[in-house]
Amino acid sequence: MIDKSLLPQHVGVIMDGNGRWAKKRGLPRTEGHRRGAEVFRAISTYASDIGIPYMTFYAFSTENWKRPEQEISVIMDLFRNFLHEAQDRRAENEERGFRFRFIGDLTVLPEDIRSLAEYMEQNNPERGRTTVNVAVNYGGRSELVRAVREVASRVQSGSLALSDVSEKTVSDLLYTSGQPDPDLIIRPSGEFRLSNFLTWQSAYSEFWFSDVLWPDFTTDDFDRALEDFARRNRRFGGI
């Protein structure tokens, strides 16, 4: 058991390795995504149970549109199913203390998915134990461009003085506005990069990498990441 005071307040997860998991088993890549969706549910539930206030899962990046059309279609169907299921289990999710947020540019998603996501966000419980951010059509660089454009627009209109632009100004215009930056970012699957995930927010994040492919990722793996995090000395540039 980890001392709750040593738990991260915000954990980011890059859900990677679904396609390779399926290939190793002679299955279509889409089966890896289906299994990965089940692991997402298990890890988000476990994180809420042990008291982590914020989780951000990288579900679909701005670069993932380059994938085969059939694979994209399956991923969108999984997202659609998740939204329908969350509506059906609304009472249970509220009792558990889930608040769902969707970060990224949702304007290019199918209309029914956008409507379901907006409805879920608007009907979140007023208070929640764990906020689950699902990053869909998300890219850290495009998020920064969006924030910079808004800053420029406000300066141009005179509602914001150039001399008043600060790090907080930018942070307040990101999708994660009002949330703490991630203390810990987990990437399974043997890759060692951020892949355009939470570019601004991860400036002082701790990283934990694993060779385990996401569909094989378990709560025990999550515990190992938390235990490693608890042993680290975070100095934030100090001594």
Residues 218, 219, 220, 225: is their CA dihedral positive or negative? positive
Please report, in angstroms and rounded to a whole number, the separation of the first and last CA atoms in the chain. 28
**Which one is catalytic: 3, 18, 64, 228?**
64
**Alpha carbon of 47 to those of 38, 57, 161, 192, 198: distances in Å?**
14, 12, 41, 23, 19
Q: Is 137 a catalytic residue?
A: no
Nearest to 104 by CA among 174, 55, 45: 174
Q: Is 16 a catalytic residue?
A: yes
**How far, in Å, CA of 118 to CA of 41, rounded?**
20
Identify the three-state secondary structure at position 102. Answer: strand
Q: What is the dihedral of CA 108, 109, 114, 117, to 10 degrees?
A: -120
Q: Tell me whether strands 130-138 and 54-61 are parallel, antiparallel or unpaired.
A: parallel
Q: Quick one: the chain helix, strand, coil %, rounded to 5? A: 50, 15, 35
The residue with tokens 């059939």 is 70
Identify the three-state secondary structure at position 63. Answer: coil
**Which one is catalytic: 3, 16, 49, 124?**
16
As annotated, the active-site residues are 16, 64
